[in-house]
Structure formats: structure tokens, C-alpha cells
Amino acid sequence: MAKRSVVPFGPQHPVLPEPIHLDLVLEDETVIDVVPSIGFVHRGLESLVKTKDYNEFEYVAERVCGICSFGHGNGYAEAVEKIMGIEVPRRAKYLRTIWLEMNRIHSHLLWCGLMADAFGFENLFYQCWRIREKILDMAELTTGGRVIYSTNMVGGVRRDITPEMGRAILSTLDFIEKELVPIRRTFLSDYSVQERTRGVGVLTKEQAHDLGCCGPFARASGINCDMRLLGYDAYGELEVEPITATEGDNYARCKVRLDELFQSISLLRQALEKIPEGDISVPVKGNPDGDAFVRLEQPRGEAVYYVEGVGDKFINRFRVRTPTFANLAGLCETIKGAKYADVPLLIVTIDPCISCTER
């Protein structure tokens, strides 16, 4: 039997933009066990509900994560609206959908870049981030913020998208779609990229199901789950078809995310075409009394929000179950049996968002 050694990985590591610590048990070059330890980014955000009133907390909820920020704010706002029985105007629902999809495009492009960086393809990394800046420009045009939008509020949204902004978004989408084609080709057909992705870190459908994985990670293993099918916001009126793959390896995960970029572009076009006229918010009176669950699809998978109000302006309990938390078990499973050199790639492949997970 080969000698076993334990190699600490993180929390500070070149490939990681965020701190996560893994103890890797190695047998020669092969990883046979993984022990993750987390808590480096824990802030105690959920406890802040008791110090901020429920309208103000909306902006704290967005700071669960800076990448998928709009979705977190949306989940919280929807949960409070559900408790208080507020019907949000249709235009606001469409605006939320538009910002959610813009968030998804920027998040997936960010992931593509980090993935390219992880297998050492610097040029591809820079190309992905170059395109990503265009969608951030659109976010800045419509909301004023690049990564944290702060346009959501309980009862609707704070800003409207004018027809000129809509046209600017559409022409940006044309640009992004055109630029994405060669990037997709490089990811999926380049010989050296496939060396690092094909057959690496396979997670079977059964494993993904048993470990409760979600989002693109589970869809790449053949599980057809997409919370957008629930029809929250305006998704009920748009055509959403979950994108799945069957291989369950790095290659499949690249393919799913790249195809989801095109799907998001199509959803944005549909939403901008169908967006109705009208108010963007309704006045909110009273305090939330009761509790509600909301599920929605973040770029990384299914996120669950729970809000409990007690008729006070301070909410009693706010809880988030984030997609990365669900996917960490799957990550440990894919790392077992992998080569040590593939570990950074496998960590990036689930698109980890540690700051969501630990809050």
C-alpha cells in the first residue's frame, strides 16, 4: 500500500478567489478522501434581521453574495410579499426577470473565465471577462451598480427600464451572442481543453440525486431540475427548457453552462419583447406576520429562502439554503479518486460560492 499523506488546500490558494479549506488525503498522486472545513467567510448575516427593519434588510439580503446578489434580494422580497399578500405589478415581475437573467449571464461568464484560468488558458480567461464587462455595462446603465444592483424592494422594483435602455440591452445581447460562439467552440472542441475536461470528475446521475445536488452541476449529470419551471416572476410566461447533459464530467458542466448563456440571452429577448406597461411597485403598509418559503433558481442552482415575521417591523428569522451548500457533498465525491493536479479544476467546476454558503 502506498504511503498516505495529508495535504492542506487553502484557504489562501492561487486558484481560489474565495477561502475554502480542504484536507486532502493522498495516496501517491490520487486523492482518496477529502475533509472540507468552512467558516472563513461566516459573518452572521442572518442575525442582522433583528437589527434592520424589513424594508432595510432587503439591501443586506443582497449582500449574501456579490455575484448572484439580485437573486438573493429577490428571494427575500418575494418571501416577505408572500407573507403580506402583496401582488407585485406585472411590469415589476418582468424587470426582476430581466435583472435575474443579466445576473446569470455575468455569473456564468465569470465562471467560464475562472475555469479557463484553472486549466491555465489565460487568453480564454481574458476573452470571457472582456465579454462579461459588456453585460456589467448594461447593469450599470439600468441600475447604477455593477455587481450589486439594489433595485429590488418589497412591493416591486425601484427603477424602470426605458425603451432606450431596452434597445441598448438588445444590441449588447447581439454582441455577446456573436462573441460567445468562438468561446463555446474553444471550450468544447479544443484538443488541450478537452484533455482537462473529458472524463474528469464524473458524477453519476444516481450520485447526484442521492447527494441532493442542484443547478448546472446536477443538470450536467442528467437531472432535469430547474426552479425557473416553477414560474416565479415572469418565467411562467416565457419559454424555459432546462439544459441537461448526461456525461456528468467537467466537459458536460462546461457544456451546460455555455448553453445556458445562450438560453439566458433568449430569455432576455423574450422578456424585453413581452414586457407590459404599468407601475413598477405597489405601496407597502403594515408588518409581515407569518412565515413563507420561496425557491428560485440562482446561477448556481436552487436557493431556498425562509422568512418568519411576528407582526413587528423586525423580522424574527431569515434563513437561506444556498446551492453551493447542496453541491459541496457532490464536490467531495468527485474529488475522491481524482488526481491531485485536477483538484483546483474540480473545485472551480461546481462554481463554488463560499460567501453564499457561509453568509
Partner 1 sequence: MADITRSPWLLHYDASSCNGCDIEVLACLTPVFDVERFGIVNTGDPMQADIFLITGAVNAQNAPVVKQIYDQMSDPKVVVAVGVCACTGGVFKEAYNVMGGADKVIPVDIYVPGCAARPQSIIDGVVAAVGLFKERYMQLKNKQPLSVGHLEGGEGS
Q: Which residues bind partner 1 (CB under 8 A)?
A: 11-15, 17-19, 39-45, 47-48, 51, 59-60, 63-67, 69, 110, 113, 125-126, 129-130, 133, 136, 145-148, 353, 355, 358
Minimum CB separation from partner 1 for residue 67, in Å? 5
Q: How far is the CB of 123 from partner 1 (least distance, A)?
A: 10
Q: Smallest distance, Å, CB 59 to partner 1?
A: 8
User: CB of 313: closest distance to partner 1 in angstroms?
Assistant: 16
Would you say 17 or 242 has its CB closer to partner 1? 17
Q: Which is nearer to partner 1, 29 or 122 (CB)?
A: 122
Residue in 346, 324, 333, 301 with CA at minimum distance from that of residue 197: 346
What are the start-end ranges of the E strands in 118-207? 152-153, 156-157
Decide whether 17 or 89 has the Cβ nearer to partner 1. 17
Residue 141 CA from chain centroid, whole number: 22
For residue 19, the minimal CB distance to partner 1 (Å) is: 6
User: Residue 81 is inside which H or E element, if any?
Assistant: helix 69-84
Q: CB of residue 68 vs partner 1: minimum separation in angstroms?
A: 9
Cβ closest to partner 1, residue 30 vs residue 51: 51
Q: Phi and psi for 113 in degrees, rounded to 5?
A: -65, -45
* 3-class DSSP state of 197: helix
Nearer to partner 1, 137 or 160 (CB): 137
CB of 57 to partner 1, least distance (A): 10
DSSP 154: T
CA 344 vs CA 26, 87, 146, 331: distances in Å: 15, 45, 28, 11
Compare residues 12 and 189 and give the one whose CB is closer to partner 1.
12
**Residue nearer to partner 1 on the CB measure, 253 or 359:** 359
CB 158 within 8 A of CB 151: yes
Sorted by sequence, the CB contacts under 8 Å of residue 163 that are 6+ apart come out as none
Q: Which residues pair with 303 in a beta bridge?
A: 296
Look-up of cell digits 451572442: 177
Residue in 185, 226, 283 with CA at minimum distance from that of residue 100: 226
